[in-house]
């Protein structure tokens, strides 16, 4: 009998003679999960609550103190126009999370529906969905979002929807694979044979198995959205300046990298830590524990 | 026994330390000898410790599970447990070789047969591609692989299961070892192929004077092949002796139970083969008494508390049991 | 059906599918100007343009025909080596691409080299003793590294190498044919940015696959024949573990034409990505359309190449499909 120790990612069976050891009961969340969750909570609360404070104005320039180093008054310093980097970073979080929310919505609904349909009905529909995912994946996604922004004007809705659209193929594949594997294991066939209604089958068999995948997807999609929005704003295809977003602030600071590196590096650090926290949670909250990502052949 | 044994294992204990910090006492006081040209059959259920025995003798364990062995393993008189890692590595394939269980998974799918068959040689010195192909063809011919030159160039998936196990045997023989460990070499094969593979092993054992340790869960395979049998249970050898004596007059209740679970061609037809109730012992919780006691129909309170004494049935036939089977009628229980 | 016929049919089917994908991408690319609110011609030429000028503009973009006719015309021209002319510079798009594709490919090959040189040894050492000190550090390190987006890493590298140490140029490009040494100096930072980002993904992918492979009985069998650790890892474990990595590298090169926008813009590298970024800002539709279609061709071609590589790496795949 082998025991797979999921926490260390090693999952190596000891000798064939080892008897089945009682699998340890669901362990307490590791400290890392709590730290990651706390970080995300701080960012989210700051993005929600700080703008309500009097004196919060990420667009207000303190012309007396341009490019001021971090210190009291301006904890993360000010940018070249004297705007508070901390306030702008907090405001930028709103942009990032708005885009992420839209991405998850589009990705979950679109990918979930397509994946379920393809896995359930198989045949021509499956082929059509496969073709559509091929199509979407052969298009240079970043360029396409840039084109859309350039034609329709900058805005969180356009960006979030399109980034979501480009996550659809990945999500479709995963959901389809889950449905097919359930079918292979006889769940679906058995249920069909004993006359279970499709809606019940969906509720009792499919959804519980797809949900963990959806959870993992939500974390991944959030990081994808944050990074993509950052990249777009960085390239000047995000929000209209001076409206703050993480990529935008980082891009604005690159010209003064020599004299005032905090303008870029502070929001960049916040962005990296947020993505790290999301990755960490996604990895550790997934049922079955963390695993090394294995690229599935497409 | 006329000559000095090739393999002489004395009081071998092995403890496995798993990555999650558990210690498994997998071999207890195991002693056995095998002479040149002799075959010792080791029988037991999965979990009895028979595979660990082979791996401990070979000296190749899991990468993550540390195995600590104490006692003596002498190969041609040399104590392997006292040998340096370099010396042990040097013996792999050339002093001791192993025929692996499943020929479907024990051959690398992306490496040509020739390169795998000659591994025992290429691990020591470089061979040119031409030399590898030629040597491999010779080795394959020796194990009756038809069209050996072509097979040497092939990849494993192009061969049938039986042929692949012949390749496995050729690879084991390549280093001209003194001791061959065969761990369930035919379990994964079709019944019709099993016999020819075992006959092949027998042939090379006789012609090369190979000491052979043949591990199996199927005691029936050993008739006419193994001169002696060691029955393992819970990491111990619970009964050992000449094959005919052990199979005809088993003394240990576990051996008797194993024999009852073998289908017989002759004799009265039973509707069902009796299974041994219960499951192998939990090695994380060693018992002070007999490991088989919880499953034994002859067990008394003493069995769970004190280690069983060694019962000597005849010259070279012993069983570790508090209540060995002695009367003939006990050997064949009521149907 | 004979095996050859079956293979031909399968290849034919895949080719037809690929062609259909490319056709639709082309239709989509040519439909782009239609997505613009208002008239692209008016937006480009201004309200003072004469109707004749507007008509000429629309004809150049194929806006005077329906999009399928325009697509047909575009493909016919493309097959004759004509991808139109840039609206802003008037240069032939083929000339622009011929200048820029080599730059992007050089950058990407250098990046893959960086990524592989880091990922392969780290993954091998990690997987040999999973849970060991090296593995823990490497696994935690690559996990953290995954969180660093390319633009942040690029900025950090610029800050370190160009601002603090002043050893490398932050931006710009010198063609290899002009001055190989300068070319290399300009190549380092963008290639590192791309390569280091990918190295984390490569390492984790390869490590996971190696863990699977090293648990295979055939690895234990090779060890039982005295094969040493180094040879075992390099000659026996690496190859069967490399399929996912080959996919990543192959598809990576395929998507590089469309995926290099960020790094090229950051480091002012005159490749396909910066061409696209400039063309999008300038509404230079012929260039944008060509970039979209060409990068889709790259992805489709890479998929085919990866498939061929699979067959050489793992003979079983070729066998199954024979």
DSSP output for chain A: -----GGGT------TT---PPPPPPPPPPHHHHHHHHHHHHHHHHHHHGGGSTT--TT---TTSTTPPS-SSSTT-B-TT--BHHHHHHHHHHHHHHHHHHHHHHHHHHHHHHHHHHHHH-HHHHHHHHHHHHHHHTS-HHHHHHHHHHHH---HHHHHHHHHHHHHHHHHHHHHHHHHHHHHTTHHHHHHHTT--HHHHIIIIIHHHHHHHHHHHHHHHHHHHHHHHHHHHHHT-SSPTTS--HHHHHHHHGGGTTT-THHHHHHHHHHHHHHHHHHHHHHHHSTT------PPP-
pLDDT, position B230: 96
| Partner-chain contact C159 A261, CB within 8 Å | yes
pLDDT, position A210: 84
Q: How crowded is the C-beta side of B307, counted as CA atoms within 13 Å?
A: 8
The answer, yes or no, to whether residue C234 has pLDDT greater than 90, is: yes
CA distance C311 to B61: 33
CA distance A163 to A105: 11
Residue A4 — pLDDT band, cuts 50, 70, 90?
very low
Chain A interface disruption, residue of C23, C43, C254, C280, most A CBs within 10 A: C280
Residue A26 — pLDDT band, cuts 50, 70, 90?
low
Å from C178 to nearest chain A CA?
Answer: 29
The answer, yes or no, to whether residue A6 has pLDDT greater than 60, is: no
CA distance C294 to C301: 10
pLDDT, position B273: 63
- Mark which residues 134-163 of B lie under 8 Å from C by CB: 155, 157-158
Q: Which residues of B touch C231 (CB under 8 A)?
A: 123
**Exposure pattern of B139-173 as b/e (b: 16+ CB <10 Å)?**
bbbbbebeebeebbebbbbebeebbbbbbbbbbbb
Handedness of CA A12, A18, A23, A27 (dihedral sign): negative
**Which residues does residue B69 pair with via DSSP β-bridges, in sequence order?**
B14
Least CB–CB distance from B60: residue in C130, C220, C315? C220
| Partner-chain contact C218 B105, CB within 8 Å | yes
Q: Which residues of A touch C288 (CB under 8 A)?
A: 143, 147
| Partner-chain contact A272 C283, CB within 8 Å | no
| Partner-chain contact B22 A5, CB within 8 Å | no
pLDDT, position A258: 79
Cβ atoms within 10 Å, residue C299: 26
C105 contacts C269 by C-beta, under 8 angstroms: no
Q: How crowded is the C-beta side of C193, counted as CA atoms within 13 Å?
A: 29
Handedness of CA A112, A115, A121, A127 (dihedral sign): positive
Q: Which residues of B touch C239 (CB under 8 A)?
A: 110-111
Chain A interface disruption, residue of C152, C243, C279, C314, most A CBs within 10 A: C152
Q: Which residues of C touch A276 (CB under 8 A)?
A: 143-144, 146-147
Residue of A nearest to B49 (CA): A17
**Which residues does residue B68 pair with via DSSP β-bridges, in sequence order?**
B15
Long-range contacts of C31-40 (CB under 8 A, 24+ apart): C31/C67, C32/A147, C32/A151, C32/C285, C32/C288, C32/C289, C32/C292, C33/C61, C33/C63, C33/C285, C34/C63, C34/C67, C35/A148, C35/A151, C35/A152, C36/A151, C37/A151, C37/A152, C40/C283, C40/C285
**Within an 8 Å CB–CB cutoff, is residue B66 touching chain A?**
no
Mean pLDDT, to the nearest integer, of A241-270? 85
Mean pLDDT, to the nearest integer, of C294-322? 82
Å from B294 to nearest chain A CA?
Answer: 16
More confident residue, B218 or A287: B218
C283 contacts C43 by C-beta, under 8 angstroms: yes
- Mark which residues 109-138 of B lie under 8 Å from C by CB: 109-111, 116, 119-120, 123-124
A91 contacts A51 by C-beta, under 8 angstroms: yes
pLDDT, position B156: 93
For the ranges A114-118, B185-189, B207-211, the lowest mean pLDDT is seen at: B185-189
The 10s digit of each residue's pLDDT in C86-117 is 888 889 999 999 999 999 999 999 999 999 99
- Mark which residues 259-288 of C lie under 8 Å from A by CB: 259, 261-262, 265-266, 276-277, 280-281, 283, 288
pLDDT, position B267: 56
pLDDT, position B328: 57
Q: What residues have CB less than 8 Å from A274, skipping those under 6 apart?
A: A39, A40, A43, A93, A96, A226
Which ranges constitute the DSSP H helices of chain C? 3-31, 40-45, 51-60, 67-79, 93-128, 133-146, 150-157, 180-214, 217-224, 229-231, 238-241, 243-259, 261-267, 272-281, 285-313, 315-320
**Within an 8 Å CB–CB cutoff, is residue C80 touching chain B?**
no
Q: Which residues of A touch C144 (CB under 8 A)?
A: 276
Q: What is the mean pLDDT of chain B?
A: 89
pTM of the model: 0.83
**Which H or E run contains B329?**
helix B328-331
- Mark which residues 218-237 of B lie under 8 Å from A by CB: 235
CA distance A256 to B288: 76
The answer, yes or no, to whether residue B311 has pLDDT greater than 80, is: yes
Q: Decide: helix, strand or coil at residue C185.
A: helix
Q: Which residues of B touch A12 (CB under 8 A)?
A: 19, 62-65
Å from A202 to nearest chain C CA?
Answer: 32
Q: What residues have CB less than 8 Å from A262, skipping those under 6 apart?
A: A69, A70, A76, A77, A85, A253
| Partner-chain contact B63 C128, CB within 8 Å | yes
A99 contacts A92 by C-beta, under 8 angstroms: no
Q: What is the mean pLDDT of chain A?
A: 79
Cβ atoms within 10 Å, residue C8: 12
Q: Which residues of A touch C207 (CB under 8 A)?
A: 292
Å from C182 to nearest chain A CA?
Answer: 23
**Within an 8 Å CB–CB cutoff, is residue B69 touching chain A?**
no
Least CB–CB distance from B280: residue in A12, A15, A19? A19
Given a contact as 3+ CB pairs under 8 Å, which chains touch B? A, C
**Within an 8 Å CB–CB cutoff, is residue B319 touching chain A?**
no
The 10s digit of each residue's pLDDT in B212-267 is 999 998 888 898 899 999 999 999 999 999 999 999 999 999 999 888 877 665 55
**Within an 8 Å CB–CB cutoff, is residue B203 touching chain A?**
no
| Partner-chain contact C240 B92, CB within 8 Å | no
More confident residue, C142 or B263: C142
pLDDT, position B283: 74
**Which residues does residue B74 pair with via DSSP β-bridges, in sequence order?**
B8, B79
In chain A, the N- to C-terminal Cα span, in Å, equals 33
The answer, yes or no, to whether residue B186 has pLDDT greater than 80, is: yes
Residue of B nearest to C232 (CA): B123
Q: What is the mean pLDDT of chain C?
A: 87
Mean pLDDT, to the nearest integer, of C229-248? 91
CA distance B165 to B186: 8
**Residue C104 burial by CB count (10 A; 0-12/13-18/19+): exposed, middle or buried?**
buried
CB pairs < 8 Å spanning A and C: 157
pLDDT, position C253: 76
Cβ atoms within 10 Å, residue A236: 18
pLDDT, position C41: 78
């Amino acid at each position: 009998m082998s025991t797979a120790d999921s926490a260390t990612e090693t999952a190596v069976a000891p000798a064939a003679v080892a008897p089945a050891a009682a699998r340890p009961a669901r362990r307490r969340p590791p400290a890392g999960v709590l730290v990651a969750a706390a970080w995300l909570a701080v960012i989210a609360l700051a993005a929600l609550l700080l703008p309500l404070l009097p004196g919060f104005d990420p667009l207000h320039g303190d012309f007396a103190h341009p490019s001021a180093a971090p210190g009291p008054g301006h904890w993360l310093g000010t940018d070249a126009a004297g705007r508070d980097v901390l306030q702008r970073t907090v405001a930028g979080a709103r942009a990032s999370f708005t885009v992420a929310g839209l991405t998850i919505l589009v990705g979950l609904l679109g990918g979930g529906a397509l994946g379920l349909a393809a896995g359930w009905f198989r045949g021509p529909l499956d082929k059509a969905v496969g073709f559509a995912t091929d199509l979407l994946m052969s298009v240079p996604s970043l360029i396409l979002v840039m084109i859309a922004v350039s034609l329709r004007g900058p805005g969180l809705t356009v960006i979030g929807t399109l980034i979501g659209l480009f996550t659809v193929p990945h999500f479709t594949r995963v959901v389809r694979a889950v449905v097919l594997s359930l079918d292979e294991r006889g769940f679906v066939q058995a249920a069909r044979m004993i006359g279970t209604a499709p809606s019940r089958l969906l509720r009792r068999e499919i959804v519980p198995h797809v949900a963990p995948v959806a959870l993992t997807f939500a974390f991944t999609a959030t990081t994808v959205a944050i990074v993509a929005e950052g990249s777009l704003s960085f390239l000047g295809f995000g929000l209209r300046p001076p409206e703050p977003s993480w990529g935008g602030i980082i891009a604005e600071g690159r010209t003064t990298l020599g004299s005032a590196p905090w303008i870029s590096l502070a929001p960049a650090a916040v962005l990296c830590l947020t993505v790290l926290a999301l990755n960490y949670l996604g990895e550790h909250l997934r049922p079955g524990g963390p695993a090394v990502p294995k690229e599935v052949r497409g | 026994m006329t000559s000095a044994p090739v393999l002489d294992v004395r009081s071998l204990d092995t403890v496995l330390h798993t990555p999650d910090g558990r210690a498994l006492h997998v071999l207890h006081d195991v002693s056995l000898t095998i002479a040149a040209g002799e075959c010792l059959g080791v029988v037991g259920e999965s979990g009895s410790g028979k595979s660990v025995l082979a791996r401990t003798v070979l000296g190749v364990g899991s990468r993550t599970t540390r195995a600590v062995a104490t006692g003596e393993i002498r190969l041609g008189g040399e104590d392997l447990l006292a040998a340096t890692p370099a010396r042990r590595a040097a013996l792999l394939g050339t002093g001791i070789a192993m025929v692996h269980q499943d020929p479907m998974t024990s051959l690398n799918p992306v490496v040509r047969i020739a390169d795998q068959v000659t591994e025992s040689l290429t691990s020591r010195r470089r061979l040119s591609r031409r030399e590898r192909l030629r040597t491999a063809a010779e080795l394959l011919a020796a194990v009756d692989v038809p069209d050996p030159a072509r097979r040497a160039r092939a990849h494993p998936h192009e061969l049938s299961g039986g042929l692949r196990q012949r390749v496995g045997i050729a690879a084991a023989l390549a280093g001209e070892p003194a001791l061959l460990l065969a761990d369930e070499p035919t379990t994964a094969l079709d019944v019709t192929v099993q016999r020819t593979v075992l006959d092949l092993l027998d042939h090379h054992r006789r012609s090369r004077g190979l000491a052979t340790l043949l591990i199996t869960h199927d005691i029936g395979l050993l008739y006419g092949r193994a001169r002696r049998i060691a029955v393992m249970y819970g990491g111990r050898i619970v009964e050992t002796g000449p094959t005919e004596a052990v199979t005809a007059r088993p003394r240990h209740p576990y051996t008797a139970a194993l024999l009852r679970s073998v289908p017989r061609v002759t004799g009265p037809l039973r509707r069902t083969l009796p299974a041994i109730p219960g499951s192998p012992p939990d090695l994380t919780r060693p018992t002070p008494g007999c490991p088989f006691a919880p499953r034994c129909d002859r067990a008394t309170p003493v069995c769970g508390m004190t280690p069983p004494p060694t019962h000597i049935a005849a010259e070279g036939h012993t069983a570790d049991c508090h209540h060995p089977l002695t009367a003939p009628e006990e050997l064949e229980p009521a149907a | 059906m004979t095996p050859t016929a079956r293979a031909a049919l399968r290849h034919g089917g895949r080719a037809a599918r690929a062609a259909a994908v490319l056709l639709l991408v082309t239709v989509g690319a040519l439909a782009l100007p239609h997505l613009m609110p208002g008239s692209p011609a008016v937006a480009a030429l201004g309200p003072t343009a004469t109707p004749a000028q507007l008509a000429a503009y629309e004809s150049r973009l194929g806006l005077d025909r329906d999009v399928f006719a325009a697509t047909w015309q575009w493909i016919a021209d493309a097959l004759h080596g004509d991808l139109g002319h840039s609206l802003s510079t008037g240069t032939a798009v083929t000339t622009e691409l011929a200048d820029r594709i080599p730059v992007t490919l050089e950058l990407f090959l250098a990046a893959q080299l960086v990524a592989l040189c880091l990922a392969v040894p780290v993954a091998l050492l990690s997987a040999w003793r999973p849970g060991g000190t090296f593995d823990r550090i490497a696994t935690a390190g690559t996990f953290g590294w995954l969180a660093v987006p390319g633009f942040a890493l690029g900025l950090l590298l610029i800050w370190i190498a160009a601002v603090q140490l002043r050893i490398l140029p932050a931006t710009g490009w010198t063609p290899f044919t002009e001055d190989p040494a300068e070319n290399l100096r300009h190549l380092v930072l963008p290639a590192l940015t791309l390569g280091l980002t990918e190295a984390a993904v490569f390492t984790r992918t390869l490590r996971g696959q190696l863990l699977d492979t090293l648990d295979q009985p055939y690895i234990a069998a090779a060890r039982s024949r005295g094969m040493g650790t180094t040879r075992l890892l390099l000659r026996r474990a690496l190859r069967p573990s490399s399929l996912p990595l080959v996919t990543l590298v192959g598809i990576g090169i395929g998507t590089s034409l469309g995926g290099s926008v960020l790094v090229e813009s950051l480091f002012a590298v005159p490749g396909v990505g910066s061409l696209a970024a400039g063309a999008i800002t300038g509404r230079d539709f012929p260039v944008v359309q060509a970039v979209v279609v060409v990068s889709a061709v790259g992805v489709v071609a890479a998929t085919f190449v990866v498939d061929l590589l699979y067959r050489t790496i793992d003979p079983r795949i070729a066998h199954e499909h024979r």
